[in-house]
Amino acid sequence: MEKFDKNYIIGFVLLFAMYGTYMYFYPATPPEQIEQAAEKTVTVDPNTNANAPAQTIITQDTAALKAQYGSFSSAMTGQAEEVVIENNNLKVTLSTKGGGLKSVALKEYKTYDDFITKTEEPLVLIDEESSQIDLEVKTPTGNLNLADLYYTVKSKDGKTAVLTLTLADGQSIEQKYSLQDEGFAIDYDLNFIGTGSLINSDPIKLTWQNKLKRLENDLSENRKATQINYYETDGDFEDYGLSSEGDNIEQAENPISWFSFKQKYFTTGLVTKAQPFQNLSLSLLTPKTDTVVVKDATISTELDMQSNNSLRFYFGPNEMKELKPIAEGFHQNLYLGYDIVKPINRFIFVPLFNWLEQFFTNYGLLIIAVVLLIKLTLTPLLYKSYVSSAKMRILAPEIAEIKEKVGDDQVKVQQETMNLYKQVGVSPLSGCVPMLLQMPILMSVFFLFPNMEMFRQKSFLWAKDLSTYDSLINWGFDLPVIGSHLSLFVVLMTLSSLAFTYYNNQITPAQPGPIDMKKLSYLFPLIFFFVLNSFPAALSFYYLVSNLVTIAQQLTVKRFVDEDKIKLILEENKRNYATKPKKKNKFSSYLEKQLQAQEEANKLKAKELKSKKKKN
C-alpha cells in the first residue's frame, strides 16, 4: 500500500509539465503478573567491581513465585550480565536478563549529531531504552514472558553466543545468536529442549516495541520516510506510514514472512526462516512534541511453537546489496519510487551507482559521471529531437501563411497543417517521442536520490551532507512553502533550468493556442525551486549538471545539423508528393478522422445557430 507525499506528487506533475512544455514517503506488562508477588529491590554497590555497572538484583517471595511461575520461579531472580558478539559491521550486546538484544551498534555509521561533532561513537540502532522484545508462552500456571527470565552463558566466541536456562530433569531453553564475518544479519535460534510438560503448544506471542530514534537532520522528512513494512507469504508487500506524519494502526490479513521498521536510510527487521508469523498487528504513532523519537512503533504477532524456532534479525543500511540476500522481497525496504520507475532504479541506476562507487571517492564527481554516461547514452534521442525541431522551424513560415489564409477556423488550420506535414514527410510526433522516452529517467532519479544511503554524510563543495539539503543560508524560522533555509544548489539548478528554457524557446517555433506556452514554460522552474528546496543536495546537483550538459549537447548537435540541407530535402519531398504512392500510418489516419469529425460538428453547430437566428 503506497501513500504519496504531496511534494513527490507536485514534483512528478511539474517534471511532466515542464518537459511537456519544452517538447510541446511492549504493551505494558499485564499488572496481574506483577501485583500477585511482593518484591523488594537491592542495589549492588558498583565499587565492588570497578569494571561492571551498577546491577539490580530482584528477590521475591519464594512461595508466591512458585505459585505463579511453577518450575520457572527460580529463573525470575538473578543478576543481569552483558555478552558482546561482533563482526566487521555490527557490535551486538546481549543481556542474560531475558536473553535478548540489549543494543545493536553499526560500526561504520554515525548519527547526524555525531557526524557534526566529529565523535567516534558508532550509530546505535536500538538499545534497552528504545527497544523491547517480549516472547510470551503459555504454561500450566499461566502466561510466561521469556524476557523476564535470567539465563546463563552456555558458550561464547567472538561471533556466536548461546544463552541457556536450565530447568529440572534435563529441560532447558536456549537462545543462540550468530554473526557472519561480514554483514548486518544476526541469525537467532530459540530452542525448547524437553519442555513439553512445562510449556503448552500454543503459539508464541512476539511483541516488539521500538521507539525509532532520530538518526538524520530533517525530523519532518525522517518521519515521512519512517514506516512499518511486512511481506506476506503469497508475495504481497505492504507498507504503512510512508509520506505520513500521522498514526497507523493495522491488522495483517495473511501469514507473514518478515516485518521491518524502516527509517530513511536504515532498517531493523525480523525474518522467520520456517513457519510464518500469524495474526500480525502493527501500531505506528507519531509523537506530538518529542524530537528525539521519530515514531513509536509496535509489532505484535504469533509464531508457531516448535522445538527449534529459527529467525533472522537485520540491522543495517537500506542498500540493495545488503537487503536482497536477507529474504525474499526484503529489498523492498529500499524505496525506489512508483511502480513505473522501480525497474529503472533497481536494474539500471542502483547497479550503475554501485559500479561507479568503486572508482570515485568524491560523490559529487560520481554524480557528474552518472550524468555524463546517461546523457551520452541518450545522445541519439537528443539528435532526433533537434532535427525534428529544425524541420518545424523551417516549416514555420508556411504554417503562418496557412493561418493567415484560413483565418480563425482552428480545425481548418490543423487540417491544412497536417496536409503540409504529409507533403514534406514530417511527423509531428517525431520530436516528442525522443523527449518522452527520457521522462522515466528524470522521474527515476527524483525518487531515487532521497532514498540513497550512499550519499549520507558525504560532502561536496559547500554541502556537508549530500543526503540532505545544503542550507547555506538559514533564517531560523519557517516561512510558508520555502521553510527555514535556502539551498544554494537548488538556486543554481533553478537558474540553469531557466537558461535551458530560454535556449529551448529560441530553437522551438511558436505553437498555435490560447496560451503562450513559451511564457508559461518559465514558471515551472520557479515552482520547482520551492519543491526541491528541502530535498537532498545530491538531487539538486544532479539536475544542475543535467541541465548544463543538455545545453552543451544541444549546442554540439547544432553544429552537425545542416538546416539548409534539411530544407532542400523537405522541398524535394513536397515536389514528389503528388507522384508518390500515398501511405497513411494509423496515427495520421486517426488525426484526419478526428479533424473531419470536428469540422462536421462545427458546421452542424453553425447551421443550428443560423436556424435559431431565423426563427427569432
User: Per-residue pLDDT tens for 418-456?
Assistant: 777 777 777 766 666 666 777 888 889 989 999 999 999
How far is it, in rounded angstroms, from Cα 104 to Cα 92?
5
pLDDT digits (tens, 9 = 90+) for 302-314: 999 988 899 999 9
Domain 26-334 belongs to what architecture? Distorted Sandwich (2.70)
Count the helices and strands in the chain (H runs, E runs). Answer: 19, 23
Q: Per this entry, what is the length of the chain?
A: 616
Neighbours of 119 (CB within 10 A): 11
Neighbours of 589 (CB within 10 A): 10
pLDDT interval class at 208 (50, 70, 90): very high
pLDDT greater at residue 173 or residue 71:
173
Mean pLDDT over the full length of the chain: 82
How far is it, in rounded angstroms, from Cα 306 to Cα 236?
26
pLDDT digits (tens, 9 = 90+) for 559-606: 888 888 888 887 877 777 766 655 555 555 655 566 566 656 666 766
Residue 263 reports pLDDT greater than 90: yes
Q: Where are the beta strands (DSSP E) in 14-122?
A: 39-43, 56-60, 82-86, 90-95, 101-106
Which among 540, 529, 537 is positioned nearest to 18, based on CA atoms?
529
The percent of residues above 70 in pLDDT, for the chain, comes to: 79
pLDDT at 578: 65
pLDDT greater at residue 582 or residue 365:
365
Average pLDDT over residues 170-174: 91
pLDDT at 85: 96
Rg (CA), the chain: 33
Q: Are 546 and 371 in contact (CB under 8 A)?
A: yes
Q: Are 446 and 12 in contact (CB under 8 A)?
A: yes
pLDDT digits (tens, 9 = 90+) for 505-533: 776 666 555 566 677 788 888 888 888 88
Which three cell numbers, joined as nine digits, stand for 335? 524505496
How far is it, in rounded angstroms, from Cα 309 to Cα 306?
6
Strongest mean pLDDT among 326-335, 338-347, 552-561: 326-335
Q: Are 364 and 540 in contact (CB under 8 A)?
A: no
pLDDT at 35: 40
pTM over 0.85: no
Q: State whether residue 316 is helix, strand or coil.
A: strand
pLDDT at 319: 95
Domains of the chain, residue spans: 26-334, 350-576, 584-616
pLDDT interval class at 58 (50, 70, 90): very low
